[in-house]
Structure 1
Amino acid sequence: MRPIFENVPEPPSPPVVVTAPQGAPTFTPQQALAYIYKADDWEDFTVEWVRALGLWNGRPYLRVKRMGGSGDRGADVAACLTPQGTAGEWHCYQCKHYSKALTQSDARPEMVKIFTAKVLGEYELPTRYVFVAPKIGQTLDRLLLHPPKLREDFLEAWDKVDSKLGTDLDPAVRQAVGDLARQTDFSMFEAADIDNILELHATTPHHLWRFPKQLKPRPAAAPAPAEQRVDEAVYVQKLLDAYNEKYGLSLETLVQVREHKRINRQLARHREAFFHAEALRVFARESVPEATYKAIEKNLYNAVVDIEDRDYDCGHDRLDAVMDAATAHQPNPHNILAPVVEVIDLKGLCHHLANEDLLTWCKEESA
């Protein structure tokens, strides 16, 4: 049995910056999915939901692959549970985006495809086969809830003298497909509920981009911890270098800083800003695609980097100038995160940039 795809890295998704909604939304998510989305959009949306579903189930998929298109053999989205891909245990998500409700006459040809793929050695049968459609017809929905009746319905349509199912197959293959269907437990087939899909999709960063609305309230930032964390090492050292250069000191630790009240107060404010910005980053990670937060960070960097690159008498003067510029900076108002970005976040983001060696306070000045 050969897998339908090789074990190669999936291409990265294009970065997405979520913009603030303009006025009241015209459509609910259900309406947008049903009436605005096209088939390709529907499959992309399904991939996002399926990835979240694996995590929610406590058994994350090793790989989620969009397969839709000619030659997909009845699998629009393949979600694999083992390194063997579709040659091992996997779940099939069949995307159907019709203006009408999905019926059993729509479902049967897709069942034929997956049985045929097994007969031809393209896939193993999935342990779950899920129809994903904006609306499922009542009759099909009832059949999916009663697997023996679903199989009976399929075989009745398959065995009709004038059946159109599988008529394009080689007679031997069609016979094998029918035999496989008779031996298969049809409980593998099910349909996803659109409200449940949206409820889970709402927990992903993709949801706000697809269905713009106001952000949820941003939680208060936790105070800076008393002791320095490992991930503070770079920006704190750069601050100490600036203080040591200006005041002729040799401070190396926060304990030593506490002996100097003014410096201690300043460093405490810088650390508070760093952790405030860290809280913004976490909030953004849980609310919007990463590119939305990165756009805020890059916008700030572009606002301060030329100021940081000027000549100064000492590194502390450079630090002050950059912090003044950050305080005066206005994030792009079209970015949905802009309303929740505070002045303290902008200062803290400068320290995040310093942590990444994109900003430095003490450096050799040009002649």
Structure 2
Amino acid sequence: MEHLVEVTKPVVSNITNQQILYGLAITIPSIDLLTLFSPSEFEVFIQEWTSGYLYKIQGYKKVYRNSGAGDKGRDVVAWLDEKGDIWDCYQCKHYEDPLKPSEVWVEFGKLCYYTYNKDFTIPRKYLFATSKGLGPLLKSYIQNPKLLKKYLIQNWDSKCKKHITDTEQVELTGAFKKYVEDFDFSIVGFLDPLEIIEQHRMTPYYVPRFGGGFNKFREESITPAEIQDSELMYITKLIEAYSEDKGMHFAAPEDLSSHIKYINHLNRERIHYHKAHSLALFERDTLPEGSSAFEKLKDAVYMGVIDTVESDFTSGFMRVKETTKTARSLLLSGNPLTSVVEDDDKHGICHHLANDNKISWVVRDD
């Protein structure tokens, strides 16, 4: 018998701005997103992982991605020495379902065949990295190398013999058969998809791909005691502003020692400059190359303060103070760094713009 229940209004709480913009897609776990990748998306994901994690974090000497035909069963080659004699192999597979033994017998066949022929040395590790993980049967074989070897030999004629090369059939006979029988398959292992994602999380590519906000904290900025060569342009412009304000010539920071107002201001501005510089370093460490987020932020601050810079003031010192005041009040949006930008960063970016010679504090008649 039917039992009708009146439909009631669902109660939705804790709605975030991200949900307003992106809906519930923002809540899809990264492990589930990985399974939704197309083959081309998975290819790019692997490139991000290999370059960002294997090369930079794992510390391999060199990492190569093999995407062409005739790859000899090596998707990613990671060298531990300069010559590549000691290396790890990563087999990156994108399938609709968890990886099965029938799909990889030929890979084990290539591993044996090409190392037997000395095309390359036996890798230190031979690991599968897949979008859907490994099926239980393949996992059980990998966890029991003797079993893996037994079934590889049993499946050789159907899965390997005609599929290792296009030029010959590879018979499992004689010295080569003895080589396969003696091969140490304990080098074979696998990375679960979640493990790959956690490694990818350590790269600058994770946030743009999976979202969720920055997973690193900004380090506190440090202002060097000594003025660096990289600061000379904006420091010179500040000294010119002090000179115009005081009506006397200051040639160097040392000349300000008896003028407490200016020396204190200079010290504060250096703090702001280096605070903004720490934001540039944060971008370098957390976002992929080519994002240009800090440069775009500088452009946004420039457009926000240029009218103030070009206004009339009694001195360059007043122009500095009013411009940095304007910068601190800017509402910046649409930049990947927006969530970590502080008022001191916007203030300091004014001096980065001066350092780039995009703005000056003292107006000279041409």
Q: Same fold (TM over 0.5)?
A: yes
For 1:208-247, what per-residue CA distance to the aligned partner results, in whole angstroms no more than 9, with x for missing partners?
A: 1111113358557446455445543443233223323432
CA 1:184/1:360 → structure 2, altered by over 3 Å: closer, same or farther? Answer: farther
Is the contact between residue 55 and residue 61 of structure 2 (CA under 8 Å) also seen in structure 1?
Answer: no
Counterpart-to-counterpart distance in 1, 2:202 and 2:336: 17
- The alignment status of 1:137 with 2:135, answered yes or no, reads yes
2:99 to 98, 102, 110: 102
Counterpart-to-counterpart distance in 1, 2:62 and 2:303: 37
Is the contact between residue 91 and residue 127 of structure 1 (CA under 8 Å) also seen in structure 2?
Answer: yes
Counterpart-to-counterpart distance in 2, 1:272 and 1:211: 34
Secondary structure at the counterpart of residue 267 of structure 1:
helix
Q: Which residue of 1 aligns with 2:296?
A: 295
Counterpart-to-counterpart distance in 2, 1:241 and 1:204: 43
RCO higher in structure (CA 8 A, sep ≥6): 1
For 1:131-158, what per-residue CA distance to the aligned partner results, in whole angstroms no more than 9, with x for missing partners?
A: 1013111221222223232222212221
Q: Which residue of 2 aligns with 1:157?
A: 155
CA 1:298/1:153 → structure 2, altered by over 3 Å: closer, same or farther? Answer: farther
CA 1:133/1:172 → structure 2, altered by over 3 Å: closer, same or farther? Answer: closer
Is the contact between residue 128 and residue 189 of structure 1 (CA under 8 Å) also seen in structure 2?
Answer: yes
Q: Which residue of 1 aligns with 2:29?
A: 28
Secondary structure at the counterpart of residue 327 of structure 2:
helix
Counterpart-to-counterpart distance in 1, 2:61 and 2:310: 45
Q: Which residue of 1 aligns with 2:47?
A: 47
CA 1:324/1:133 → structure 2, altered by over 3 Å: closer, same or farther? Answer: same
Is the contact between residue 66 and residue 75 of structure 2 (CA under 8 Å) also seen in structure 1?
Answer: yes
CA 1:198/1:62 → structure 2, altered by over 3 Å: closer, same or farther? Answer: same
Identity %: 28
Q: Which residue of 2 aligns with 1:259?
A: 258
By how many angstroms is 1:117 displaced? 3.9
CA 1:328/1:196 → structure 2, altered by over 3 Å: closer, same or farther? Answer: same
| Equivalent position amino acid for 1:260 in 2 | H
| Equivalent position amino acid for 1:47 in 2 | Q
Is the contact between residue 119 and residue 177 of structure 1 (CA under 8 Å) also seen in structure 2?
Answer: yes
Counterpart-to-counterpart distance in 2, 1:353 and 1:91: 46
Q: TM-score, normalised by structure 2?
A: 0.78
Alignment of 1:298-313 (within 5 A): 298-304=299-305
Give the aligned length: 337
Q: TM-score, normalised by structure 1?
A: 0.77
Is the contact between residue 284 and residue 337 of structure 1 (CA under 8 Å) also seen in structure 2?
Answer: yes
By how many angstroms is 1:28 displaced? 0.6
Structure 2 residue ranges without an equivalent (≥5): 1-17
CA 1:191/1:218 → structure 2, altered by over 3 Å: closer, same or farther? Answer: closer
Alignment of 1:59-138 (within 5 A): 60-85=59-84, 88-118=85-115, 122-134=119-131, 135-138=133-136
1:166 to 150, 153, 161: 161
Q: Which residue of 2 aligns with 1:277?
A: 276
Counterpart-to-counterpart distance in 1, 2:106 and 2:120: 17
CA 1:197/1:189 → structure 2, altered by over 3 Å: closer, same or farther? Answer: same
Counterpart-to-counterpart distance in 2, 1:67 and 1:193: 21
- The alignment status of 1:341 with 2:341, answered yes or no, reads yes
Counterpart-to-counterpart distance in 1, 2:310 and 2:146: 73
By how many angstroms is 1:202 displaced? 1.3
Q: Which residue of 2 aligns with 1:17?
A: none
Counterpart-to-counterpart distance in 2, 1:66 and 1:102: 21
By how many angstroms is 1:193 displaced? 2.1
For 1:256-312, what per-residue CA distance to the aligned partner results, in whole angstroms no more than 9, with x for missing partners?
A: 434212112322331221122133233333433351334323433455568768998
Q: Which residue of 2 aligns with 1:8?
A: none
Counterpart-to-counterpart distance in 2, 1:152 and 1:278: 60
Q: Which residue of 2 aligns with 1:184?
A: 183
| Equivalent position amino acid for 2:334 in 1 | H
Quote the RMSD (CA, aligned, Å): 3.3
Name the stretch that deviates more: 232-241 or 260-269. 232-241
By how many angstroms is 1:357 displaced? 4.3
Is the contact between residue 162 and residue 170 of structure 2 (CA under 8 Å) also seen in structure 1?
Answer: no
Alignment of 1:227-238 (within 5 A): 227-229=226-228, 231-238=230-237
